[in-house]
Every structure is written in C-alpha cells, then in structure tokens.
Amino acid sequence: MTNLEIANAHLRSEDVNVWFGERHVLRDVSLTFPVNQVTALIGPSGCGKSTFIRTLNRMHELIPGAGFAGKVFFNDQDIYNPEVDPITVRLKIGMVFQKPNPFPTMSIRENVLSGLKLSGRRGYNADEIVETSLRRASIWNEAKDRLSDPATSLSGGQQQRLCIARSLAMEPDVILMDEPCSALDPGSTRRIEETIVELSESMTIVIVTHNMQQAQRVADQTAFFLAEDGMPGRVVEFGKTEDVFNRPTDPRTNDYVNGHFG
C-alpha cells in the first residue's frame, strides 16, 4: 500500500467483529477504501460480506441482538463512537439494497427527493436535483416524461437505478451496494455496472457481489471473505482486483475465483 492511498483513504475499518446474539459472524476485518475507487466484496454465501457492508453505515444495529467490536473510520473519525449520531453517518454514506425498494406511495420524482425530505433539508432546487440525480444514475431518459408516475410502475432494473438516484440526490461521499444486481436481468445488470463505473469517477463505492465477472469488470480492488466450518467469517485476501483474480496468494482464494467451490 502506498502512502498516497492511505492519505486518500477516507473510509477504513479496523478489526471489525460482528455478532448476532451469541453467534460470532465476522472476525477482525480491516479494510481500506480509497477515494473514488470501487471495492468489491466477494465470497461464498454466509461468509458475512453483506453483514460487513451494513456495518459501514451503521445499518447493522437495526437488527435486534446486534453486537459489534472494532472501529470504522470515516474522515479519521470513528463512526462507532457513542457520540456519533448514526443519521449523520448515513447522510454521507448511502446504501443501495439487494431488492429494489422504491417507496410505493411516492412518485418517481418524490422518490428522488425523498431523502432530502426525510432528512428535513430545505432550500434546494428540486428540479435540478431530480434531473442531475436521474442523469447520474442513467435513468433520466426513461423517466423524464413520467416523473409523476408511481415508482412501482418502473421495471425492476429501472427501480434499482431509481434507488441509486435516490441515494445520489443526498450527495454522499460513499455508496454501499449490497448485491444490487442479484434480482435483475442481464441487460439491467450491464447498465448498472456502467453506472457504477461512471460514478466511481466522483465517489467511493463498495459493492457486495456474488458474480466474479462483475467484480472483475467494475472493481479496482477486491476483498475475499470466507467462513470456514462454523468459524466467524474473515478476510482471506485483499488487494488489487487483478492480483486477487490472477495472482492470489492464498490457495483458498485461488480455488474460489477459479470456481472450485462456493
């Protein structure tokens, strides 16, 4: 790791441990997410990668019985410091979920603006924000003539891009994506991948994915998670995507990326 990268790393985790009730599911995860880079989290089901991504903006604590240890630094501040209000964290670190979840009672336009309304922001130029957000999520052309239609009238892939636009409207520094394409068809998946690549010019992205081609297509760096025999999940390998896939140092990574298990 070069010094430059550390200087730019405004989001990093340090020895993150996670429990559900008494079950220890993640152990000592320390990852660094450099500015304007895409990091993919890969690994077999149940290895804790989705759980980990939820700790990065304190969504993890919404699950009853959630336990935590370690630190997550955002701009050199530990977001798990008891003084920190999780709401302020989530304003800066947005999230897109596995299943598209636009608010069904709102129109497309209202969905884009929902974050601003929900966080009580005032004095913004609504039309401009709607257009830029939808453009950045590359759904403007499909949605511009039907902004007042209910969000549920969109197709699954469009709904997911609307959810990305909804996050972008908040102008976060980081976007976390938890398997954003797992419920979508290949065409929609490709468009979202293109969106991710475009967005990474201006923001940091962390993406959980089951799809190893997807990780190779979009990610600058990749972390491989693995949970062995009832042990908590750990990071087995973390590095440049190219290295992880082509020159893995750990034999288990090699097995996984070449499809020998999982």
Partner 1 sequence: MSVASDDLTKPVPPKRRLALKPHLIQDKIFYGIARSAAVGAVLIVALILGYLLFMSWDTLAQQGPAFVFGSQWSAADPENLVFQIGPMLWGSLLIAVNGMLLAVPMAIAAAYFIEFLANSKIAKIATMVVDLLAAIPSIVIGLWGVGVFTPVAAHWAKLLNENLGFIPFFNNTSGSFVNSPFIAGWVVAVMIVPIITSVTREIFSQLDRDVINAATALGASRSSTFMKVILPTSSGGIVGGALLGLGRALGETVAIFFVLNLSFEINWVEVVESRGGSIASMIVSFFGAASPEEVKALIAAGLVLFVITLLINWLAAVIVAKAQPWRK
Partner 2 sequence: MTTSPIETAALPRPEKSPWQIKNPKQTRALILASVAPAIVVLAITFGFQIDGTIAMLTMFLPLQVLSAGAVGFRIYGKKGIADAGLVIFTIFFSSLVGVLLMSVLYSVITEGFKALSPQFISQNNVYITPTTSLEYGGVGHAVLGTFIIVGITTAVTVPLGIALAVYLTETTSKTKGAVRTLVQAMSGLPSVVAGLFVYAALITSGFSKYAGWLGSLALIPLMLPTVTRVAEEALRLVPVELRNGALALGAPAYRSFLSVTLPAAKSGIITAVLLGIARIIGETAPLLLTVNYANSTVLNPLESMAALPTYIYQNLDSANDTSLQRAWGAALVILIFVAIIFSAARMATRSASVKKKPKKVAKND
**Is residue 151 a contact partner of residue 159, using CB atoms and an 8 Å limit?**
yes
Indicate which of partner 1, partner 2, none lies near residue 167 (CB less than 5 to 8 Å, by partner kind).
partner 2
121 binds partner 1 (CB under 8 A): no
24 binds partner 1 (CB under 8 A): yes
Q: How far is the C-alpha of 252 from the C-alpha of 247, rounded, in Å?
A: 12
Distances (CA, A) of 258 to 5, 246, 251: 29, 10, 11
In the complex, the smallest distance separating the C-beta of residue 31 from partner 1, rounded to whole angstroms, is 8
**Is residue 170 a contact partner of residue 115, using CB atoms and an 8 Å limit?**
yes
User: Phi then psi for 189, rounded to 5 degrees?
Assistant: -60, -45
Tell me how far the alpha carbon of residue 230 is from its chain's centroid: 26
The site string for partner 1 over 223-252 (x = CB under 8 A, - otherwise) reads: -----------xxxxxxx--xx----xx--
Q: Which two tokens stand for residue 208?
A: 């959980």
**Is residue 214 a contact partner of residue 38, using CB atoms and an 8 Å limit?**
no
Bridge partners (DSSP) listed for residue 223: 41, 238
The footprint of partner 1 on residues 78-97 (CB under 8 A) is 80, 82, 85-87
Q: How many CB atoms lie within 10 A of CB 6?
A: 11
110 binds partner 2 (CB under 8 A): yes
Stretch that binds partner 1, among 40-48, 62-70, 94-102, 163-171 (CB under 8 A): 62-70
What letter represents residue 112's amino acid? V
Q: How far is the C-alpha of 32 from the C-alpha of 85, rounded, in Å?
A: 22
In the complex, the smallest distance separating the C-beta of residue 68 from partner 1, rounded to whole angstroms, is 5
Residue 24 burial (10 A CB sphere; 0-12, 13-18, 19+): middle
Indicate which of partner 1, partner 2, none lies near residue 28 (CB less than 5 to 8 Å, by partner kind).
partner 1
138 binds partner 2 (CB under 8 A): no
Stretch that binds partner 2, among 23-31, 164-172, 205-213, 243-251 (CB under 8 A): 164-172
The footprint of partner 2 on residues 69-108 (CB under 8 A) is 87-88, 90-91, 94-95, 97, 99, 101-105, 107
Whether the CA torsion 216, 217, 221, 223 is positive or negative: it is negative
In the complex, the smallest distance separating the C-beta of residue 1 from partner 1, rounded to whole angstroms, is 5
Q: Give me the residues that bind partner 1 (CB under 8 A), please.
A: 1, 15, 17, 19, 24, 27-30, 60-62, 66-70, 80, 82, 85-87, 234-240, 243-244, 249-250
Q: Give me the residues that bind partner 2 (CB under 8 A), please.
A: 57, 59, 62, 64, 87-88, 90-91, 94-95, 97, 99, 101-105, 107, 109-110, 113-115, 117-120, 126-127, 147-150, 152-153, 163, 166-167, 170
